[in-house]
């Protein structure tokens, strides 16, 4: 299993990096594909629970949110239309469609669409490629640090009902390795000179967010009695299995460059 994971990473990481470096429409289509596959897996999981997600409404909602940066002036009326649609669906299709199914369908759309819309927003920043690459690297660093520290020192479980293999030692290792990688990354890439304490802050928060994203999708899988969210990525499971941490690290990195640095430096 580990060898398959490593081989998949060796093949996919250069392709991912190349697409991000090209930017533009390739960048946008990449994250649209990730979002579409992620929502597909989310709906498949809740379908296995005996619930019937609203596929069309869900995908429409997700893509409206994902690309909301392009039409922010209309976001108010779009939200109103979505709320009206929910009300209408709840009334017209009751009891075939319940509020539980509608709520879960739209939560998946909003969770995936809103968090990944930060990837679209990153394109507007200076050094966009290096910033999005940082988000990916911090995600991988947290994962790698947690795995090896957990294997070497892990005893006490952090959330045994959600993820039996997660330990406090692994959680600490994730943070430590993320901080080290953050410092190393800023030593080699053409980004702003940022104080040491701010790099430590970024590494800590990004790792915590990565672990929370992982545990959250684990909770969805446990609820749906699913081992993995899908099987599209050899050795890794589904898209949500691979990007569950990234989609919470992404807004963390985005706000680090757009809000934190402006407020505290």
What is each CA distance from 84 to 58, 66, 80, 90, 192, in whole angstroms?
A: 14, 20, 6, 10, 45
What is the block-wise mean pLDDT of the chain (265 residues), using blocks of 10 residues? 72 92 94 96 92 90 90 80 83 81 89 95 93 96 91 84 86 95 91 86 96 94 89 81 95 91 63
- Give the pLDDT score at 243: 94
- Give the pLDDT score at 86: 81
- Give the pLDDT score at 153: 86
- Give the pLDDT score at 46: 93
- Give the pLDDT score at 156: 86
């Amino acid at each position: 299993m580990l060898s398959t994971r490593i081989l998949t990473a060796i093949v996919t990481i250069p392709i991912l990096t190349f697409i991000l470096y090209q930017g533009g429409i390739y960048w946008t289509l990449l994250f649209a594909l990730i979002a579409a596959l992620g929502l597909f897996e989310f709906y498949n999981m809740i379908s296995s629970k005996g619930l019937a997600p609203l596929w069309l409404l869900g995908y429409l909602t997700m893509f409206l949110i994902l690309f909301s940066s392009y039409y922010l002036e209309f976001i108010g009326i779009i939200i109103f239309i979505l709320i009206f649609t929910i009300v209408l669906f709840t009334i017209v299709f009751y009891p075939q469609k319940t509020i539980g199914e509608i709520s879960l369908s739209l939560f998946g759309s909003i969770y995936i669409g809103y968090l990944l819309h930060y990837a679209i927003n990153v394109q507007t920043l200076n050094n966009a490629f290096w910033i999005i690459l940082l988000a990916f690297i911090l995600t991988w660093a947290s994962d790698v640090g947690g795995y090896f520290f957990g294997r070497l020192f892990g005893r006490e479980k952090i959330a045994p009902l959600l993820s039996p293999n997660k330990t406090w030692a692994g959680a600490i290792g994730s943070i430590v390795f993320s901080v080290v990688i953050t410092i190393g990354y800023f030593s080699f890439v053409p980004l702003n000179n940022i104080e040491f304490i701010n790099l430590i802050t970024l590494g800590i928060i990004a790792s915590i967010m990565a672990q929370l994203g992982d545990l959250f999708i684990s909770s969805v899988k446990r609820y749906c009695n699913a081992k993995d969210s899908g099987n599209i990525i050899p050795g890794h499971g589904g898209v949500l299995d691979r990007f569950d941490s990234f989609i919470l690290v992404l807004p963390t990195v985005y706000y680090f460059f757009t809000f934190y640095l402006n407020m505290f430096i």
